[in-house]
Structure formats: C-alpha cells, structure tokens
C-alpha cells in the first residue's frame, strides 16, 4: 500500500518538474554549453634549405662539419670507408676540442670499443692511432694532473678490456694480433690493468704462440704482440722487489705497534707465476722456429723478435734453450747482434742453472763464452760502442761469484783470471767496475759468511789479495768526482776490515787518499777532504780495522785534520775513532801521542790576535773549536793508560815543541796537556823545569801583552775569562812546583835588566818586543799572580826575587828615559815594600786611582804577610 | 720486597764492591779483580765470577770465582785464550765467555766442562747477553756485527751440519765496535738494542730480524740499559751524559736537535762507563771513569746516592737480589757451614773440550731453583741424578712405596666407580625387562 502511494506521488511531481522533450530522429544533439573544443588544427611548414651555421653554433664539429654524436653513429656504419672517416673525424675533433673528450669519454669509449674487432684492417689501424695519439694521452694525463681520483681510469680500461678479449679470440688472425697491440697500449697507459687480467692474458698469449705457422709471414705483428708480453712481464716484480716492499712497510711502523692487516702482495703473484710456467715452453718452441732464418741472414725484424722472445723468457726466468747457444757463437759473424743475443742467452742460462743441473759439456761451453766475452773486452772491440759493451758485460759479471763457487779445477782459475783482468782494465767510473766490486764483495764476504769457517782455497785467496790491493788505488783514481762509486769502494773496504782482511801494506796507498807531502812543506790533499760527511765517516771507520796503523798514514791524516776545510765535527770524530783504535791496540802509544801533539801544536788558530774580540771575529774564529779540541785531547790522554808513563813521553816532546815559540793558543793548549797528566808534587824533571822556566816567563809576558788590562773590568768580563784561560795552566804548574815559580821570577828579573843572561828568554818572547812593553807586561803578570789566592801564598816565599825585579825596573828607569808608567812602579813598590819614591807621572789621574787601589791592596797584603812571616818564623 | 745489592768492579784492580742499595752500607769487598766491561757476572746468585784483564801477550785467560762469604779468590780457571765478556744464564747452570779471537766458549758450571766452542766473529767478542728466557744468546763484536745464537741450534749437531750458519740473525749495520747490548722482555720476540762506537744505537727485532730504529747520539755510547716498561732506554756517553732515547715513548713533542733523544741526565764530568737499572727501587745506576757509582732517580733526574768504588773506571755494575749468604744474621752460620762443606764452589772451568766424555748424556741440571735454602742444596750432575733414579727403580724407597700406595688407592676408587656403574646398568636392564614382560601380559590380556 505504501508503494503504490509513493509512485503515484512521483508521477505527479514529474509531470510538474521535468517537461519531456521530444526529439526527432536523425538530428544530433546540440553540444552542451560547457564543452571544451578538442579540435586540433595544423599546417605543414616547408623549408627550402637547412641553415648549418645557425643550428650547430656552439657545438664542436670536425673538419667535415660533423658533430661528435654523428661521428659516433658513423662508426657503426656498414661501410668501412665511412667508419674510417668517422674515426679520422673524431681525431680532428678531439684535437681541436679536448674538452669534448673529457666530457664524453665514457660514451666515446663505449662506442669505439666495438671497433676493436672490426673486420677492416684500416679501420683497426685508425682506431689504434686514435687511441694512442689522442684519447689515451688526454684521459690519463689530464686526470693525473688535475688530481682527480685515480680509479677513474679503471672503468675506462675495463670498458675496453672485454672487447679486447673478444678480439683476441677472433677467428681472423689479423684481428687477434691487433688485439694484442691494443692490449699493449692499455697496459702502457694503465699498468695495474695487467694484474687484474693477468691469467686471461697469458692464456691468450699461449694460444696465439701455439699457432706458429704465422710467425714467419707476419713478423712485424708478432713482434708487437711479443713487445706487449715483455711489457707485462717487466711489470712482474722479482722476488727481491717483493721483499723490499715488505721492508718498507716495516720501517714505517712504530715500535711495539700491532701488526697491520696489510694484504700480502706476494700471494697474488703465485697464480701468475704458475701461468708463466705454462707459457715458457711455448716461447721456446717459437724460438726454435726462428733458428733456420738466423742461419741464413739475420734481418732486423727477426732479430728484434728473437730479442723480445729472449727477454720474455728471461723475465719468466724458467726454461731450457741453451742447446742453441753454441750454434750462434760458432756462426762466426762478427756482428754485435750475435753477441747481444748470446749474452742474453747466457744470462738466461745462468738464471736457470740455479734450478737445474745442466750437462757438463754444455756448461763448459757457456764458461768458455763468458771467459771469451770478459777477455775480449780488454782486447779489441772498438767497433761496437764502448758503452754498449760495458752494459753487456756488467750484466754477466754478477754471475761470476756463483760460477766460481761451482766450477772446479782449471775453469775456476781461468774464470778468476778473466775476471781479474776485467776488473783491472775497466775504467774506474764505469758500471763494469761497480759490478765487479759487488761481485768481489760477494765472493769474499758473503761466501765466507755462509761457511763460517776459515777454509778457503789458496788460489782464490791469491786473487783476493790482488783485488783488495787494487782498492786504495781505485779510491784515489776515483777522486771526488764520483761520490757514489767511492762510497761503494769505502763500504767494501770497511766490510773487509771487519772481516780482518785489510793488509797493513795498503796504508801507504791509502795515504794518498788523505794527503801527501810534496817536496817542501806543500801538502797535496787527497779526495778525502772533499767528500760528503757520510763518506768521510766511512773512510775514518776503515782506519779502525788496520791491525797496526802506520805513522806515515797518521801523519797524512793529521795534516787533513789541520786543514781548515775539514768540518770540526769530523775532526772530533777522527780523534774519537783513532782513540778507539789505540785502545784496541792498533796504534802504538808514541804514534798516538805524536798525533795529538801535532794536532795541538800545529793547529792554526785565526785570528791570531786574541784582542779585540769583536762579534764578527767570534763568528769566524775557530778558537772555540781549538779549545774543545784541547779538551778532547786532554781527556784522551788521561785515558791512555798509566799517567806517569804517558807523562814521561809527553814531557819531552812538549818541551821541544813549546820552545819553538808557537802561537799563544798552541802553547796554552800544550801546557794544558801537561797539567792534565801531572800530579800535585810535579812529575816534571829538574831539567825540564829549568827549560820550562824560560818558556813560561816569555809566555806570561806575551799573555800580558796580548790580553791587556782593562780599566774597569768586572770579575766575569770577557777579558777576565780569557786571561784566566791562558794563565791557569801556569798557575797550576807553579802550585805543583814552587821552584818553577822561583826560576820564572828570576828570568823575569834578569830580562828587565837586559843582561846577556836573558837573551834566551828574550828569544822566546813572541809578541812583546821592546823593553818598555816587556816591563809593562812583567808588572801586570806580577799583579795577576798576586790576585790568585794560591799563587799569592807561594809568592810570599819569593820576596827577594820580587825585590830584585822592582829594583831593576827602578834602576832602568833612572838610567834610561823609558816610558814606564808610574802605576807599575807604584804597584811594584807597594808590593815589594821597598819605599822608592815616585819620580814621574804621565797620567796623573790614572796614576792616582791606581795608586789608591794598590795602596789598599798593600795594607791588606802587609798584614797578611806579616802574619805569614810570623808563622814562618815560628815554624822552624 | 726483597732487598737488593749492587756489585761493581773496575778495570783496574779495585776488587768487587758490594753495597746495599737501600741503606747504602758496604758489604764485603772481594779482592783482586780487574775485569773488562761485561766481564763480571753472578752465577745464579750463588757466587761471583769474573774474567780478568790481561796483557795482550798472555797466552791464556783467567776467570776467577768468589763465594759470597769470603773476600779471597776461591777458584781460578785458565781458559784457552783471554776472555773478555762473561755471562751466566739466569739459573746459573752455564757460563759463556767471549774470546779475543772471536770464539765463544760455553761451559757447564757444575762440572766445569767446556761443552762447546765455536767461531762466532771475525774479531774479538765485546759483549754477550742472554734473552730473558735464556733461549737465545746475543753477542756483539769488535767487527761491528751483532749475532743471535739459538742455544737449541748450537747443541743440535745434526742441524748444525745441515745449516749453513749457526746464527739466527747477523746484524751488520754497525761500522765500528759494538760496545753494549741489552735485550728487552719477551724472549724470542723481544727487541734488542746495541750501542756502538760509531755513535749510534740500533734497535732490532729478534723475531723479524730487522732494524727497527737507528738513533744517532752526540758522542760514543759505552753502555745502555732499558727502562722496565721499555718506554725509553738510557745510554751513557763518553761526553759524561746519560742520554734518554725514546722507544715507545713519544719523542715528537720534544724539539730536539737529535732525533729520538728525549733528554739527558748529567753531572758526570767524565765518561759514563756502565749503567744498571733497579726495578725494585726504580733507580738508575751509573758507573763513571772516575770510579764513582751514582744512583739516579729517573723521574726527577736527580742524583740520589753516590758509592765510591775505586780510582779507576768502573767497568761493571749489577743489581741483584740479596743472596741469602749475605744476610747478616746468617753470615756466621754460613761461614760455619761453608767450613763444614769444605769448598762449596764448583770445580774450575776446563780449557779444552774433552772428547772422552762426549758419550755422557748432556747434563741438564737445575741447580737450586729456589735460592732460599741454598745451603742445603748441592750441585748435582746428571750422572748423580741418573744413579739415584736407577737406585730408586731397583730398590724402591719410602717415596716410591708411597707413590705405589697412592696409585693403588686411585685404582680401587676407579674400580668402585666402575662397579657402581655396572650395578646401575643391571638395575635398569632388570626394570626394563620386568616392564616389558608386564606390558606383554597386558596386551595379551587385552586381546
């Protein structure tokens, strides 16, 4: 019911709200008012021609007006000529716009790699040229320069590598050979790439080499392929290098550090080496194929081929080719190439003989060849450039030690003879000499080390002596022009010394190395002085190992030490080493002492004048060095053994030297040497005290003259210090021997008198010439003496001598008009307590000041003296 | 903490001085000893042995023994040639001496037999050291080489024939005489430091056999000693200073002219001739050319104490734990007992290898591992021990009987355990069988 009701109501409504519109058939509905017009209208535009300039503006184009994109497309064109042109175009483009290449390098490589296995020869050739001359240099050079990440190069190579491998297994043999060429290029620019693909590559080489029917026709290409192989093999580090690598790692570590987890490089090589073993027989095969040609004519290409084969074999270091060697040698053609070939073969043979035991007759042939080469060198081989020959020989020499240790009887003798001849004949600076030296070291030292016994056959021993004798001469011949060679020689000498193989007779030869005396006093310095410090140190160390150092050699070393060119560090080092040698009993005591005295007495101190000591003087002066030299020598002397015996030896020589009037510094140093060994009651003999008194008085007067008294000096002034340095040794001597002081005072007194007795002492005086200066100096010496507490005590007991001096000064004054300044008279009077009147005054102000000073002193002195006298009187 | 004593000898005849490190009191002075550097050693702390300096022409050398209790020389030995360095292993079973000709001599202390003599260097041996585990012997020579000898190798005749050389490592880098060597801790893995007259000290690794560090000093170094932590080492130079070289210490912060040298202790006017380090007191001892022994505090670099030894240069200093002999309370006791025992020291060292008794089994004797009861322990050689063993085997003794009883007891307990186990298994089996039977009955009955 409800339904019906509802429907009726609806119907009603409809009738009101929606008026039914009736449509006629065949008529379309009018579009609604809100519709969008979806119609598209277009018109075609026809251009009669294209404007090249406008569209490609800003883009890089080749000569033919093609862009990079187009060129890349053309590279895969079916027409070979188009492909070739495209490659040429790219070359143009990249040469003009290197930036383009850098931006699109991946895209370019991706496209180009497809062409590696191109069927057309010219295309491949062009591609090779393009890569070699343009693309690779730009990619690899730029990157390393601009410090981009290095591994950016990796992807470029790996992109190519897949296609190279593909080409290597191509059906056409040309393509294959070319692929090796490409690979060579890649390795050349990016060496690590070899290691990542080593196994595959070696496999490929093996395959290609098996197909030996191509060799004879296509030598050029084979050569290329082999060159690539050689390049790869060169990259393989020898075991030595691997060890070196590990060493470096260790050095950089700190002590007690944990072991770093570095992957061990050497492990990686094991795979490669296994592969290499496979390839060797193939190479040998290939080499045999070449032999027929060799016998007919040796043209350049096959020669190159063989050489590279040999090199690859050598680098692989495994094989057995040697049966071929003699045929080469006997072919008799006097051609360099043969010799080179033979040397290469011998080299390989030598490497191999360590692993395998070759039959004896074969071995002998090789020995004959080695001997022939060594001897021939010295005979006549002018034609082949000398440097080339030397290079070849120096490759052979390293095998000599091993050969010598293996062969027996006659051959050993012949080999050693040949070797010795080579060693003696080659020029000092050549590489052959260096190789010889290394061989000698190995033969003498390393072998001995291994056996660790003193069993050595006499024959080898004879040769050893010959070699060792040669060394000093070689050292002199080398001079200072070839420091590295000299260092090698020195090192060998040191090693020999350590094994007690240096002969004392060598010293006279070695003398020339340091310095030699020409006729009259001229010293000719050897190369030693001009060496670098480490070489100098090495040569000094060698000296330690002579069982008895010659006095002549010591003399020439001493003259080196005295040279101003020698660094002061080296000077002390020499003394140190020689002292050690002395302690070890390698130098006689008299030689050692005379060495020291020579140093001290002949050392030239400059400037000779002690004053004025200006700043600039201090810098250039070597007085400081000399002072420390004196110290070092003194401490060495005190360690030499029984002091009293050393003193006896020293005493005589020093007195001799010191009476020769050496400069002040040297005298002072010698006196210091004396007191370093002397004891409190002196060890000096009566006679030497007498002679020393003359010398000492002169020395003191000279010191007083050279170190003038400064007006107002403090206790720590430079003058004071200097004076102390020079006077102290004298004061020590006075303290130890009162008699000496007595004698010295006597001499001073008589010298003032100018009496004939003092002629001798006058002779000793070096600087203070003339009476007045001498008297001045004498007085100041007396003054200084009384300032020193110890000497002053001693002076009291020599009143008479002092009186005598003052009296003589005064008498001199009255007799002659000498310009003796009053201050000294005053002081002497004050001191001597004599009571002479002051006669003259030149500088009154100074005089008065000094007078006061002295007077003050005097009062104290008098009192002290009185007490001292009283004590003295009481004592007996 | 055990008390420590210092022993020192001089290269001129000044005897062997002996001081208490803590109190500074001087003990006995052992007479007539003029030893070269590295020529003094205490053999297992039982007695002192020292090689003697001799005239260059002397045909044979001299090694003297002193017992702790008497100042006189007790045993004199005359080896084949003058011996310079002398060292004993830590137990004191072997003495090793280095000859002027470069030979090394190896003696057994208890019997005095020369066990081995081999050519070690081309020139005189200057110093010898054992590593702390006594397995390796390190020798330095006048020819500048330092060599490491494994004792295992030296006494293995078979291997000796096979190997081309005896040494494990031979370090050749020094150009002049090697003056001193010290070894670090860690036996075969330790580091060693060698000093030479070429003014350098070099640090080597024993395990790898490589040079770890080269330190150049301003003067010749005559003696070195290690800090216990191996942080630094001390090097006494001819310039009278004790230089401090860095090992694992950081030396980069110190702006020094000399690489790896951290600082120096100095007050010596004369050459420092020898050094020693006391771990107990943590002090450094240095002997000098003027005959004084100075004791330093390494931290503050101050001198703590001075011992006066002799007029001549001090050539050796050793710091030892106080041996019981020297105990003042026991001293009288010792004298009595030593008189009772007669000569307590082993026989002198023989001059040559005696080929006759090569058949005798190499003696491996551990002499008095504990030094606390040294008076009762006596030196016994392998023969004596093997005799005793034989005796034991034949006759049996109380100890053997005891061991037997012990063993039987163990057997019985094991048997008891076994019995228990069997019993348990039997029970289990029984139970199982019963269960099985019962169950079978059940099943039957159910059917």
Q: Which of B215, B258, B222, B256 is nearest to B237 (CA)?
A: B222
Q: How confident is the model at residue B377 (pLDDT cuts 50, 70, 90)?
A: very low
pLDDT tens readout for residues A665-703: 888 888 888 888 887 777 788 888 888 888 888 888 788
DSSP 8-state secondary structure symbol assigned to residue A34:
T
Q: What is the pLDDT of residue A875?
A: 39
Determine the pLDDT at residue A331.
35
**Where residue A642 falls among pLDDT bands split at 50, 70, 90?**
confident
What average pLDDT does range A450-472 have in this prediction?
67
CA of B120 vs chain A CAs: smallest distance (Å): 8
B139 phi/psi in degrees, rounded to 5: -125, 145
pLDDT at residue B181, as a whole number? 94
Check pLDDT > 50 for residue A252. Answer: no
| DSSP, residue by residue, A446-471 | IHHHHH-S----HHHHHHHHHHHHHH
Higher-confidence residue: A95 or A294? Answer: A95
Query: Å from A646 to nearest chain B CA?
Result: 16
Q: Residue B238 and residue A449: Cβ atoms within 8 Å?
A: no
Collect all residues with Cβ–Cβ distance below 8 Å to A493 and sequence separation of at least 6. Answer: A471, A472, A475, A502, A539, A542
**Which helix (H) or strand (E) element contains residue A523?**
strand A523-525
Contacts of A577 in chain B (CB under 8 A): 176, 197
- Compute the average pLDDT of residues A619-629: 79
Instruction: Tell me the three state secondary structure of residue A754.
Output: coil
- Greatest mean pLDDT among A17-31, A181-195, A440-454, A529-543: A529-543
Measured CA to CA, the distance from residue B167 to residue B120 in angstroms comes to: 8
Nearest CA in chain B to A634: B270
**Would you say residue A640 has pLDDT above 70?**
yes
Is there a contact between B315 and B236 (Cβ–Cβ < 8 Å)? no
CB B44 within 8 A of CB B68: no
Residue A829: pLDDT band by 50, 70, 90 thresholds?
Answer: very low
- CB spacing of A255 vs B213 below 8 angstroms: yes
Closest chain A C-alpha to B71 CA, distance in angstroms: 27
Q: Whole-structure pTM over 0.90, yes or no?
A: no
Mutation target vs B (from A442, A444, A490, A498; most B CBs, 10 A cutoff): A498
What is the radius of gyration, based on Cα positions, of chain A? 50
Given pLDDT bands bounded at 50, 70 and 90, which one contains residue B305?
confident
Overall average pLDDT of the A582-598 stretch: 86
Helix (H, G, I), strand (E, B) or coil at A15: helix
Q: Do A452 and B164 touch (CB under 8 A)?
A: yes
Q: Residue B318 phi/psi, 5° resolution? A: -130, 145
Q: Place A413 in a pLDDT band, splitting at 50, 70 and 90.
A: confident
Q: Which residues on A lie below 8 Å from B199 (Cβ)? A: 573, 576
Q: Which pLDDT band holds residue B21 (cuts at 50, 70, 90)?
A: confident
Nearest to B248 among A255, A499, A635 (CB): A255
- Give dist(CA A677, CA A209) in Å, integer: 85
Better-predicted residue by pLDDT, A780 or B125:
B125
Q: What is the enclosing helix (H) or strand (E) of A525?
A: strand A523-525
The lowest-confidence range among A733-747, B321-335, B416-430 is B321-335
For A539, the closest chain B residue by CA position comes to B175
By the CB < 8 Å criterion, does B175 face chain A? yes
Of A388 and B360, more confident: A388
Q: Specify the pLDDT at position B421.
A: 95
Q: Quote the distance between the C-alpha of residue A155 and its chain's center.
A: 41
Three-state DSSP class for residue A516? strand
CB atoms inside a 10 Å sphere around CB A710 = 13
Confidence check: pLDDT of A747 > 90? no
State the pLDDT at residue A440.
79
Least confident of A37-46, B156-165, B268-277: B156-165
The residue with tokens 């420590």 is: B4
Q: What is the pLDDT, as a whole number, of residue A237? A: 44
Confidence of residue B338 (pLDDT cuts 50, 70, 90): very low
What is the pLDDT averaged over residues B144-150? 90
pLDDT of residue A175: 79
For residue B222 the two structure tokens come to 């005559």
C-alpha angle A863-A866-A872 in degrees, rounded to nearest 5: 145
Choose among B166, B170, B210: nearest Cβ to A250.
B210
Instruction: Report the 10 Å Cβ neighbour count for B105.
Output: 27
Average pLDDT for chain A? 68
Residue A145 has pLDDT above 50, yes or no: no
Say if the Cβ atoms of B145 and A537 lie within 8 Å. Answer: no
Nearest Cα residue in chain B from A576: B220
**A68 or B218, greater pLDDT:** B218
Structure tokens at A258: 């944990």
Q: To the nearest whole angstrom, how far is the Cα of A647 from the nearest Cα of chain B?
A: 17
Q: What residues contact residue B13 under an 8 Å CB cut-off, 6+ apart?
A: B32, B33, B34
Binary contact (A580, B122; C-beta < 8 A) = no
Find, among B174, B215, B216, the residue nearest to B196 by Cα: B174
Nearest alpha carbon to residue A676 among A706, A638, A733: A638
Q: Are the C-beta atoms of B365 and B385 separated by less than 8 Å?
A: yes
Looking at CA atoms only, how far is residue B90 from chain A in angstroms? 25
Three-class secondary structure assignment of A192-249: HHHHHHHHHHHHHHHHHHHCHHHCCCCHHHHHHHHHHHHHHHHHCCCHHHHHHHHHHH
Chains A & B: contacts with CB separation below 8 Å: 68
Query: By three-state DSSP, how is residue A50 classified?
Result: coil
Residue B201 pLDDT grade (very low, low, confident, very high; cuts 50, 70, 90): very high
Is the model's pLDDT at A198 over the cut of 50? yes
Q: How far apart are CA A86 and CA A69, in angstroms?
A: 11
Sign of the alpha-carbon torsion through A838, A844, A847, A853: positive
- Higher pLDDT, residue A736 or A261: A736
Return the pLDDT at B125: 92
CB atoms inside a 10 Å sphere around CB B78: 15
- Chain Cα centroid distance, residue A361: 46
Which two three-digit tokens encode residue B285?
Answer: 């001892």
Other beta carbons less than 10 A from residue A671's beta carbon? 23
For chain A, report the end-to-end CA distance as a whole number of angstroms: 175
Residue A239 clears pLDDT 50, i.e. is over it: no
**Model confidence at A408: pLDDT above 90:** no
Query: What CA–CA distance (Å, rounded) separates A249 from A244?
Result: 9
Residue scoring higher pLDDT (A391 or B263):
B263
Per-residue pLDDT tens for B99-142?
Answer: 888 889 999 888 888 888 888 888 889 999 999 888 899 999 98
A293-297, A471-475, A646-650, B360-364: least confidently modelled range = A293-297
**Is the pLDDT confidence value at A273 over 70?**
no
Q: How many beta carbons lie within 10 A of that of residue A861, not counting itself?
A: 19
A498/B213 touch (CB, cutoff 8 Å), yes or no: no
HSE, side-chain direction, 13 A CA sphere, residue A208:
32
On whether any CB of chain A is under 8 Å from the CB of B165, the answer is yes
The mean per-residue pLDDT over the stretch B263-276 comes to 83
Banded model confidence at residue A286, pLDDT cuts 50, 70, 90: low
Closest-CA distance of chain A to residue B109, Å: 28
Give chain B as a 3 state SS string.
Answer: CCCEEEEEEECCCCCEEEEECCCCCECCCECCCCCCCCCEEEECCCEEEEECCCCCCCCCCCEEEEECCCCCCCEEECCCCCEEEEEECCCCCEEEEEECCCEEEEEECCCCCEEEEEECCCCCEEEEEECCCCCEEEEEECCCCEEEEEHHHHCCHHHHHHCCCCCCEEECCCCCCEEEEEECCCHHHCEEEEEECCCEEEEEECCCCEEEEEEECCCCEEEEEECCCCCEEEEEECCCEEEEEECCCCCCCCCCCCCCEEEEEECCCCCEEEEEEECCCCEEEEEECCCEEEEEECCCCEEEEEEECCCCCEEEEEEEECCHHHCHHHHHHHHHHHHHHCCCCCCCCCCCCCCHHHHCCCCCCCCCCCCCCCCCCCCCCHHHHHHHHHHHHHHCCHHHHHHHHHHHHHHHHHHHHHHHHHHHHHHHHHHHHHHHHHHHHHHHHHC
Specify which of A14-23, A407-416, A421-430, A588-597 reaches the highest per-range mean pLDDT: A588-597
**Burial class of residue A370 in the structure, from the number of CB atoms within 10 Å of its CB (0-12 exposed, 13-18 middle, 19+ buried):** buried
Q: Does A498 contact B122 at a Cβ distance shorter than 8 Å? A: yes
Kindly report which listed range (A19-28, A132-141, B334-343, B419-428) carries the lowest average pLDDT score.
Answer: B334-343
pLDDT above 50 for A407: yes
Which of the four pLDDT bands, split at 50, 70 and 90, describes residue B86? very high
| pLDDT of B303 above 80 | yes
Confidence at A230, pLDDT banded by 50, 70, 90 = low
Residue B411 has pLDDT above 90, yes or no: yes
Q: Is B163 on the interface with A (CB under 8 A)?
A: no
C-alpha distance from A584 to closest chain B C-alpha (Å): 9
- Decide if B79 contacts B60 (C-beta within 8 A): yes
Q: With an 8 Å Cβ cutoff, are A544 and B177 in contact?
A: yes
């Amino acid at each position: 019911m409800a339904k019906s009701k509802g429907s009726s109501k609806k119907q009603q409504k409809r009738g009101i709200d929606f008026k039914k519109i009736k449509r006629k058939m065949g008529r379309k509905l009018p579009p609604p008012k809100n519709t969008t017009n979806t119609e598209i209208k277009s018109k075609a535009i026809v251009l009669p021609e294209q404007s090249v300039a406008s569209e490609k503006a800003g883009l890089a184009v080749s000569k033919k007006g093609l862009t990079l994109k187009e060129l890349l497309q053309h590279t895969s064109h079916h027409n070979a000529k188009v492909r070739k042109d495209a490659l040429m175009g790219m070359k143009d483009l990249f040469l003009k716009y290197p930036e383009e290449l850098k931006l699109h390098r991946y895209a370019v490589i991706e496209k180009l790699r497809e062409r590696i296995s191109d069927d057309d020869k010219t295309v491949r050739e062009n591609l090779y040229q393009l890569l070699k001359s343009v693309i690779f240099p730009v990619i690899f050079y730029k990157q390393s320069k601009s410090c981009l990440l290095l591994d950016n190069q990796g992807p470029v190579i790996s992109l190519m590598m897949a296609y190279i491998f593909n080409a290597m297994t191509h059906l056409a043999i040309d393509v294959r050979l070319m692929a090796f060429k490409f690979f060579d290029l890649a390795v050349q620019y990016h060496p690590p790439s070899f290691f990542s693909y080593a196994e595959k590559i070696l496999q490929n080489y093996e395959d290609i080499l098996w197909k030996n029917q191509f060799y004879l026709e296509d030598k050029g290409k084979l050569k290329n392929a082999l060159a690539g192989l050689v390049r790869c093999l060169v990259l393989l580090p020898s075991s030595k290098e691997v060890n070196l690598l590990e060493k470096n790692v260790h050095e950089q570590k700190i002590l007690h550090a944990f072991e770093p987890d570095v992957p061990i490089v050497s492990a990686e090589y094991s795979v490669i080496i296994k592969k290499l073993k496979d390839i060797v027989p193939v190479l040998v095969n290939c080499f045999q194929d070449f032999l027929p040609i060799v016998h007919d004519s040796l043209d350049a290409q096959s020669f190159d081929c063989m050489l590279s084969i040999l090199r690859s074999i050598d680098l692989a270091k495994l094989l057995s080719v040697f049966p071929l060697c003699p045929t080469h040698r006997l072919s008799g053609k006097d051609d360099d190439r043969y010799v080179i070939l033979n040397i290469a073969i011998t080299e390989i043979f030598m490497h191999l003989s360590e692993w395998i035991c070759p039959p004896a007759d074969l071995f002998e042939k090789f020995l004959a060849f080695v001997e022939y080469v060594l001897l021939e060198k010295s005979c006549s081989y002018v034609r082949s450039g000398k440097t080339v020959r030397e290079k070849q020989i120096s490759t052979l020499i390293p095998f000599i030690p091993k050969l010598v240790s293996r062969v027996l009887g006659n051959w050993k003798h012949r080999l050693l003879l040949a070797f010795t001849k080579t060693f003696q004949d080659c020029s000092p600076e050549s590489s052959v000499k260096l190789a010889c030296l290394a061989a000698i070291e190995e033969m003498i030292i390393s072998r001995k080390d291994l056996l660790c016994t003193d069993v050595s056959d006499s024959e080898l021993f004879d040769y050893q002596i010959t070699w060792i004798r040669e060394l000093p001469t070689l050292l002199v011949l080398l001079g200072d022009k070839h420091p590295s060679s000299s260092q090698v020689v020195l090192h060998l000498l040191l090693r020999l010394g350590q094994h007690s193989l240096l002969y004392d007779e060598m010293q006279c030869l070695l003398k020339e190395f340091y310095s030699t005396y020409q006729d009259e006093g001229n010293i000719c310095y050897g190369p030693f002085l001009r060496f670098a410090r480490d070489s100098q140190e090495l040569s000094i160390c060698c000296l330690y190992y002579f069982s008895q150092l010659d006095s002549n050699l010591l003399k020439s070393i001493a003259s080196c030490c005295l040279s101003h060119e020698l660094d002061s560090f080296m000077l002390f080092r020499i003394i140190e080493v020689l002292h050690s040698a002395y302690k070890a009993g390698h130098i006689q005591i008299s030689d050692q002492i005379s060495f020291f005295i020579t140093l001290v007495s002949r050392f030239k101190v400059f400037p000779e004048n002690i004053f004025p000591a200006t700043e600039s003087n201090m810098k250039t002066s070597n007085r400081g060095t000399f002072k420390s030299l004196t110290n070092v020598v003194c401490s060495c002397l005190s360690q030499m053994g029984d002091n009293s015996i050393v003193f006896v030896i020293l005493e005589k020589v020093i007195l001799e030297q010191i009476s020769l009037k050496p400069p002040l510094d040297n005298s002072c140093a010698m006196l210091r040497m004396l007191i370093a060994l002397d004891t409190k009651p002196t060890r000096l003999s009566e006679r030497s005290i007498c002679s020393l008194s003359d010398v000492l008085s002169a020395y003191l007067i000279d010191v007083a003259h050279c170190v003038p008294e400064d007006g107002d000096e403090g206790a720590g002034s430079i003058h004071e210090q200097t004076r102390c340095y020079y006077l102290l040794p004298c004061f020590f001597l006075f303290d130890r021997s009162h008699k000496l002081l007595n004698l010295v005072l006597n001499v001073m007194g008589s010298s003032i008198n100018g009496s004939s007795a003092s002629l001798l002492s006058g002779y000793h005086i070096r600087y203070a010439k003339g009476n007045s200066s001498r008297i001045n100096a004498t007085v100041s010496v007396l003054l200084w003496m009384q300032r020193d507490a110890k000497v002053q005590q001693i002076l009291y007991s020599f009143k008479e001598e002092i009186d005598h001096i003052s009296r003589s000064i005064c008498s001199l004054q009255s007799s002659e008009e000498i310009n003796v300044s009053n201050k000294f008279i005053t002081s002497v009077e004050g001191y001597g307590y004599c009571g002479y009147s002051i006669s003259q005054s030149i500088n009154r102000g100074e005089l008065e000041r000094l007078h006061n000073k002295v007077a003050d002193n005097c009062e104290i002195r008098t009192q002290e003296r009185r007490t001292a006298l009283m004590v003295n009187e009481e004592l007996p | 903490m055990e008390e420590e004593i210092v022993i020192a000898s001089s290269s001129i005849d000044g005897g062997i001085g002996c001081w208490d490190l803590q109190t500074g009191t001087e003990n006995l002075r052992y007479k007539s000893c003029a030893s070269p550097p590295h020529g003094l050693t205490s053999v297992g702390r039982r007695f002192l042995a020292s090689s003697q300096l001799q005239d260059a022409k002397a045909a044979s050398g001299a090694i003297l023994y002193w017992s702790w209790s008497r100042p006189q020389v007790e045993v004199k030995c005359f080896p084949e040639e003058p011996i310079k360095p002398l060292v004993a292993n830590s137990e004191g079973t072997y003495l090793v001496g280095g000859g002027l000709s470069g030979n090394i001599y190896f003696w057994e202390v208890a019997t005095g037999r020369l066990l081995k003599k081999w050519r070690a260097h081309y020139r005189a041996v200057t110093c010898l050291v054992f590593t702390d585990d006594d397995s390796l012997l390190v020798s330095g020579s006048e020819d500048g080489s330092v060599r490491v000898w494994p004792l295992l190798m030296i006494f293995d005749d078979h291997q000796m024939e096979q190997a081309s050389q005896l040494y494990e490592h031979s370090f050749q880098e020094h150009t002049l005489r090697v003056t001193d060597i010290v070894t670090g801790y860690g036996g075969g893995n330790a580091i060693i430091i060698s000093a030479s007259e070429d003014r350098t000290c070099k640090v080597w690794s024993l395990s790898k056999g490589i040079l770890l560090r080269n330190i150049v000093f301003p003067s010749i170094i005559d003696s070195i000693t290690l800090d216990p932590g191996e942080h630094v080492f001390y090097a006494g130079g001819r310039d009278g200073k004790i230089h401090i070289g860095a090992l694992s210490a950081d030396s980069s912060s110190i702006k020094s002219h000399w690489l790896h040298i951290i600082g120096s202790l100095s007050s010596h006017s004369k050459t420092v001739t020898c050094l020693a380090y006391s771990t107990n007191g943590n002090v450094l001892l240095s002997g000098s050319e003027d005959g004084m022994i100075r004791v330093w505090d390494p931290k503050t670099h101050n001198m703590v104490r001075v011992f006066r030894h002799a007029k001549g240069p001090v050539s050796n200093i050793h710091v030892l734990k106080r041996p019981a002999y020297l105990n003042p309370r026991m001293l009288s006791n010792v004298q009595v007992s030593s008189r009772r025992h007669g000569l307590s020291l082993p026989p002198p060292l023989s001059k040559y290898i005696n080929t006759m008794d090569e058949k005798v089994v190499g003696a491996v004797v551990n002499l008095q591992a504990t030094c606390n009861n040294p008076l009762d322990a006596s030196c016994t050689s392998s023969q004596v021990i093997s005799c005793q063993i034989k005796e034991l085997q034949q006759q049996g003794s109380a100890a053997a009987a005891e061991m037997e009883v012990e063993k039987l007891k163990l057997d019985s307990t094991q048997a008891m355990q076994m019995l228990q186990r069997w019993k348990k298994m039997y029970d289990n089996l029984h139970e199982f069988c019963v269960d099985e039977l019962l169950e079978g009955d059940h099943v039957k009955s159910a059917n």
